[in-house]
Amino acid sequence: MFNAFFLSLFPSAKISRLTAGRTTVSVGDRVTLICSVEKSAGWKYEWFRRTSYLSEDRINDGENGEIRVSQGGIYSCRGFRGEPAIYSDTSDEVNINITFSNKVIVTQKPSWSQMFRGETITLTCEVQGGEGVQWEYQWRTPQSQTSWRNNKDWTITASNSGEYSCKSRSRYDLYSSTKWSEALRLSVSAHKPKSELNMTSSPVEDRVILSCSVKSSSSGWRFFWFRGEKSSKLLTKQDADFLSNGQIRVSQEGVYRCRGGRGEPVYLSEFSDPVTISSEFNPALFE
C-alpha cells in the first residue's frame, strides 16, 4: 500500500507546509515520505527521525526527495545544493503514527460461555499475518486499560461481565500499532453454582447409581464425591465404581454428597444436598 506525506520547505522563509496521507499499512509495508523545496531545482535532501526516547538520527543522505519508511516516529527533512552546500530551513517535525491493517483476534481458554466470579482463564491476543514481528500487547477491559506487555497470553481472574479487546505494536516501534480487536464478551456470574445429586437403582443387584451435575448452562466440570455426615471422606476407586464423569456406582450405606470443579487452579462449586443410602431405598440392598 502506498501512502505519501508531503513536506514543503522554503529556504530562508522558515515556512513549512505538510500534507499527510493515510498511514494504514500491512505489516512489512512502507510509508512514502516526500520532501521538496518550493519553486527551485537542483536540491538533494537529508532526513531525520527521532522518538520521545531517542535523540535525533540522520537516516538518509537523500539524493531524491522521497524515502520509504516502515517505522513511525517524528520526522523532519531539509534540502541542500551547491558546493559549498547551502541548506534550506529544516521542515516542521511530522509525527508519523502507522496503523497496521492486520486483523487482531482475542481468544479465550478454556472457552466457557458462562463463568463464575473467581474462576481463572487465559486470554490470547493474535495478530493475523504478523509472524516474524516481536509484538507487545495492550488490553482494554471493562474497568481500565493495561500497560503494554510482552506476552500475548494474559491470565485473569474473572470478576465482572464485560468486553475485552487488545491491540499490538512492535517492541521497537512505539509509533506504530494495530487497531483494537473486536471485543470478546465475558459473561460472569457473581453466584457460585450448586451441584445436584440424583440417585437411581443399578442393574447390578447390590449397587446404587449416583449422578452429579452442576445447575447452570456451563460446561467443563469434573466431579468429586464424598461420604459422611460432614463430607469428610473423598471417595476413590477403592470406594466406588466410577462409571463416567459425573456418575458413580456404590454399595455402602451412608450420606453422600458431590461437588463440581473445573479449571486450573480448580474452581469448586457448592456441595450438593446430601443423599442418604440405606436398605430402605431398596429392600434387596445390603441384606
The mean pLDDT value for 246-256 works out to: 91
Quick one: 176 and 253 in the same domain?
A: no
Confidence of residue 13 (pLDDT cuts 50, 70, 90): very low
User: What is the rounded average pLDDT for all residues in the chain?
Assistant: 83
Q: Tell me, what CATH number does 73's domain have?
A: 2.60.40
Quick one: 88 and 118 in the same domain?
A: no
The mean pLDDT value for 19-30 works out to: 67
Is residue 283 assigned to a domain?
no
The mean pLDDT value for 209-225 works out to: 90
User: What is the DSSP code string of 227-277?
Assistant: ESTT--EE--TTTSEEEETTEEEE-S-EEEEEEEEETTTTEE-BPPPPEEE
Residue 8 has pLDDT above 60, yes or no: no
CA–CA separation, 37 vs 194, rounded Å? Answer: 75
Domain span at 55: 4-98
Helix (H, G, I), strand (E, B) or coil at 85: coil
Cell of 84: 559549498
The mean pLDDT value for 147-162 works out to: 95
Is residue 182 assigned to a domain?
yes
Confidence of residue 206 (pLDDT cuts 50, 70, 90): confident
Number of domains in the chain: 3
Q: So what's the pLDDT on residue 195? A: 94
Q: How many residues does the chain have?
A: 287
Residue 188 has pLDDT above 90, yes or no: yes
**Of residues 3 and 23, which shows the higher confidence score?**
23
CA–CA separation, 65 vs 67, rounded Å? Answer: 7
Quick one: 94 and 113 in the same domain?
A: no
Quick one: 93 and 8 in the same domain?
A: yes
